[in-house]
């Protein structure tokens, strides 16, 4: 009988690719002026003049949001207009349900000329990072 077993492929190349991909994505985030939640100093996450923005839908916001957060729905046609009314030199912390929309919103804001935008990730992550309570309407 012949032995049809094959050796496992060498995964070294793929591991190197994963590392390069992670470095590339981190570099893009840094160049875009965004930081990831893991990179942020929790003590500095919420300065006295920081505006907290929840970029979820109004229905999601009503179910629970951080105390004092303003709701600017990323999926709204008026998102760019509403964000455009804000002071571009202000300090902003954005969050959403999972961190996907907040990362995109932070990138959009940076591309619009905002100089201090931080992505806090999900609602839970943002609450932990800032120490703010989650409240419902």
The pLDDT mean for the chain works out to: 80
Q: Is the pLDDT of residue 30 over 50?
A: no
The whole-number pLDDT of residue 45 equals 65
In this structure, what token pair is assigned to residue 66? Answer: 């951080």
What would the pLDDT profile of 62-90 be if each residue is shown by its tens digit?
A: 999 999 999 999 999 999 999 999 999 99
Fold of 12-135: Oxidized Rhodanese; domain 1 (3.40.250)
- Region 94-117: mean pLDDT is 97
3-state secondary structure 5-72: CCCCCCCHHHHHHHHHHHHHHHHHHHHCCCCCHHHCCHHHCCCCCEEEEECCCHHHHHHCEECCCEEC
- Full-model pTM: 0.69
Helix, coil or strand: residue 87? coil
- Region 112-127: mean pLDDT is 96
The whole-number pLDDT of residue 19 equals 47
């Amino acid at each position: 009988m012949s032995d049809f077993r094959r050796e496992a492929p060498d995964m070294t190349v793929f591991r190197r690719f994963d590392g390069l991909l992670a470095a590339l994505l981190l570099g893009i985030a840094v160049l875009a002026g965004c930081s990831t939640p893991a990179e942020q100093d929790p003590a500095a996450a919420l300065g006295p003049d920081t505006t907290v923005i929840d970029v979820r839908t109004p229905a999601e916001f009503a179910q629970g949001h951080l105390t004092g957060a303003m709701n600017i729905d990323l999926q709204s046609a008026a998102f760019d207009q509403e964000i455009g009314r804000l002071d571009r030199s202000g300090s902003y912390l954005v969050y959403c349900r999972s961190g996907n929309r907040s990362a995109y919103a932070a990138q959009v804001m940076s591309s619009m000329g905002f100089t201090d935008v931080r992505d806090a990730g999900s609602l839970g992550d943002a609450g932990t990072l800032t120490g703010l309570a989650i409240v419902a309407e």
